[in-house]
Structure 1
Amino acid sequence: MAQNPRSVVLPVVAAAVFAGLGRMVLQKVLADRAARETNVAGPLDEKTRAWISDVVRTPRQ
């Protein structure tokens, strides 16, 4: 009696999902590293900090 052939669909789908997740993680790590290295926001002086604080705390009308 012939045995049923095993389906290759499930392993292929599992490999594709695993590869996709790995790619997403790699992209996130690289994006975080690039954002950390290109630190666009420089050091803020006290006047700028006070202005930002005031803008954030003041309710909009």
Structure 2
Amino acid sequence: MAEKPKSVLLPFLAAAVFAGLGRMVLQKIKADRAARASNMAGPLDEKTRAWISEVVRTPRQ
């Protein structure tokens, strides 16, 4: 009996999918580290807190 030829497409497709997912995970980790390092949402001083509270509480006309 002749053996069935094994398809090489499926392993290559699986490898491409896993490589893409791995790349996405690495990009997410890098972005999270960069956001944490930049400290954009840092602690606010009292003057800024008061200004935000006033803006939020003031009704628009």
TM over 0.5: yes
Gapped regions of structure 1 (runs ≥ 5): none
Bigger drift between 14-23 and 41-50 goes to: 41-50
Q: Which residue of 2 aligns with 1:47?
A: 47
Percent identity, aligned pairs only? 80
Q: Deviations over 1:1-49 (max 9, x none)?
A: 3211111111111110000000000010011111111113443211211
Tell me the distance in 1 between the aligned counterparts of 2:23 and 2:43.
34
* TM-align CA RMSD: 2.1
Gapped regions of structure 2 (runs ≥ 5): none
Bigger drift between 43-52 and 30-39 goes to: 43-52
Give the TM-score normalised by structure 1. 0.75
Number of aligned residue pairs: 61
Tell me the distance in 1 between the aligned counterparts of 2:4 and 2:59.
70
Q: Which amino acid is the alignment partner of residue 44 of structure 1?
A: L
Q: Which residue of 2 aligns with 1:32?
A: 32
Give the TM-score normalised by structure 2. 0.75
| Residue 14 (1) aligns with residue 14 (2) | yes
Q: Which amino acid is the alignment partner of residue 46 of structure 1?
A: E
